[in-house]
Amino acid sequence: MASHQLSPQKMSTPQGLGDKTGIQILSIRALPLHRWTEAITLPGQGRGLPELTEGNALSRSLPELDSGPQGQPILVQKQDSKEEWSPKMDGSSPKTKVYKRRWLIVSLFCLYSMSNAYQWIHLNIIANIITKYYNASLPEDRFQRETTVDWLSMIYMLAYIPLIFPSTFLLNKKGLRVCALAGAFLNALGAWLKVACVSQDRFAVLMFAQTICAIAQIFILGLPAKIAAVWFGPNEVSTATSLGVFGNQVGVAIGFLVPPILVPNSDSLDEIGNDLSIMFYAGAGYMTLLFILVIIIFKERPPHPPSKAQMLALQNVHEEHYGRSLLNLFKNIGFDLLTITYGVNTGCYYAISTLLNPIILEYYPGHEESAGQIGLTIVIAGVGGSIAAGIWLDKTRTYKGTTLGIYFLSMAGMVAFTFTLDIKILWVVFLCAGALGFFMTGYLPVGFEFAAEITYPESEGTSSGLLNASAQFFGIILTIGCRAMINKVGTLGSNLLISGTLLVGTICTGFIAADYRRQEAGKEILEQMDNALEIEISEKYTEKSRMADAENDNRI
């Protein structure tokens, strides 16, 4: 008997949904039975969905489904088809698997990201000591002299802005391993150049070494989302991204804590020079070890992709056009707003970190170590905030609500920090600094994931790179502006400037549309499943009616 054939019909979906999600809408059409060689099971089977076998309409009409980056169903396209999505049932499809090595990869990334972040802030947390030691090679004007030392931090921000585009292009074309090697090598090179800077007339050499480290971070900051997508399963992506950010924040914490201990303030320039030499040699040795480990351990990708979403990305990577992806992102109004608000929030964090030494010393003279400990408190609390935010997003996927809430609480934390500095109770300052860090740093992975959600199916590496570029730009502007405010009207004016900027960012965040494209893609697939299920039920009812009619005819 010939197999039952379905007439072509198009699936109904909300208008414009296919364009937003990047998923082609399929027509349900009959497929010859000989194309199906095995039974498949879809996510959700066992919860009321019929078993998928070669003999029913549901298996003949549905494309292959899998969980995407946030657990949403996606379609998997045949590699030899450009127009139609359908499952491969010939047994040759590559399998998906998560490997234990993924934790080693993300841990190694955390370590060398940590070392680079340490080099960002380890000089500015002892800015008054650096200014004293290198005074002979610094400008005579006070504002210019202090701003020149601030550039040891701001060079990280300045280098990122023009280099993010070629580095993201390199990431998309050459992959994770090349970028990881470049970042680790430049990080170690900059650390060794600092060893040669221990002389009072070599501030220019110190700035050059810091510039090399700044270039290294270009190959680091955009990797967390990419590592998570390439190595981790769909229900681990947000958590893995948060762990990637976690390593960077731990590095900042060490950069706040260790330098004031290793290089205490002293009237002897020779003693300061010896302390700096010890700090630089220790850092160079550690970063060289990390570079060797990256060479040995860090792999481009696992033998098998962690999800069908990543399999599809591997199959279609040759079709990706970086310039077109950038254009699509810039045309996305929601992403444009998020780029600005993310840059404002993170730029405020950069400004506070860079200027924490003068901010604290104005109220607590001689407390260089307390300034470092307050910075450590900000970062440790922020690490908890980053992890908590990642877990929360994995469970709730409330991207806009979480982003807006954390933004508002960051502003509230900054206001509290501003007005507790002057009460001269240090533990209260630590408490408010911890609250500020928890929410301001917790915002970082939330911003990455919100961007990936509203820009799907564009590359996570591209969107996160643009967010970081915005953060560097606003970081430079706010650091220079706050330094000018400190010199002219004092620290209070600087902190109020940051608080007001965060208020504006909170308001703008409220205007970002909750355009959850990845989740909409999942709803689209579920609608296709429902329609196909209706066809299957109709087929079964028709078959039963035919059999009943035949039985009645036989009785007659």
Residue-averaged pLDDT of the chain: 77
* Number of residues written out for the chain: 556
CB 256 within 8 A of CB 163: no
pLDDT tens-digit profile of 190-232? 999 999 999 999 999 999 999 999 999 988 877 877 787 777 7
pLDDT(250) > 90? no
Delimit the domains of the chain by residue range: 101-517
Q: How far apart are CA 222 and CA 211, in angstroms?
A: 18
Which pLDDT does position 73 carry in this prediction?
A: 38
Q: How far apart are CA 512 and CA 251, in angstroms?
A: 32
Which residues touch 282 (CB under 8 Å, ≥6 apart)?
none
pLDDT tens-digit profile of 292-321? 998 998 887 776 666 555 555 555 544 456
Whole-angstrom CA distances from 54 to 7, 32, 271 are 18, 10, 80
Q: What is the mean pLDDT of residues 497-524?
A: 83
Q: Which range, of 60-64, 146-150, 151-155, 280-284, averages the lowest pLDDT?
A: 60-64
Which pLDDT does position 244 carry in this prediction?
A: 75
Q: How far apart are CA 294 and CA 180, in angstroms?
A: 7
Q: How far apart are CA 389 and CA 394, in angstroms?
A: 9
Which run of H or E residues covers position 196?
Answer: none
Which pLDDT does position 441 carry in this prediction?
A: 83
Question: Amino acid identity of 552?
Answer: N
Q: Could you tell me which of 446, 433, 377 has the C-alpha nearest to residue 405?
A: 446
Which pLDDT does position 438 carry in this prediction?
A: 93
Most confident by average pLDDT, 36-40, 287-291, 391-395: 287-291
Q: 75 or 494: whose pLDDT is higher?
A: 494
pLDDT(241) > 90? no
Which pLDDT does position 117 carry in this prediction?
A: 92
Q: Which range, of 167-171, 480-484, 497-501, averages the lowest pLDDT?
A: 167-171
Q: Could you tell me which of 526, 544, 524, 528 has the C-alpha nearest to residue 29?
A: 528
Phi, psi (5° rounding) for residue 65?
A: -115, 150
pLDDT tens-digit profile of 178-194? 888 999 999 999 999 99
Which pLDDT does position 482 carry in this prediction?
A: 94
Q: Give DSSP secondary structure letters for 339-356.
A: HHHHHHHHHHHHHHHHTH
Which pLDDT does position 420 carry in this prediction?
A: 92
Tell me the percentage of the chain whose pLDDT exceeds 70: 72
Q: What is the mean pLDDT of residues 387-412?
A: 86
Cα 384 to its chain centre, rounded Å, is 16
pLDDT tens-digit profile of 22-48? 444 343 333 433 333 333 333 333 334
pLDDT(465) > 90? no
pLDDT(86) > 70? no
Does the domain made of 101-517 have the CATH classification 1.20.1250.20?
A: yes
CB 355 within 8 A of CB 347: no
Q: Could you tell me which of 244, 285, 254 has the C-alpha nearest to residue 379?
A: 254
pLDDT tens-digit profile of 404-426? 999 999 999 999 999 999 888 88
Q: What is the mean pLDDT of residues 434-456?
A: 86
Phi, psi (5° rounding) for residue 229?
A: -70, -35
Which pLDDT does position 197 carry in this prediction?
A: 92
Q: How far apart are CA 61 and CA 86, in angstroms?
A: 9
* CA dihedral of 109, 114, 120, 123, whole degrees rounded to 10: -150
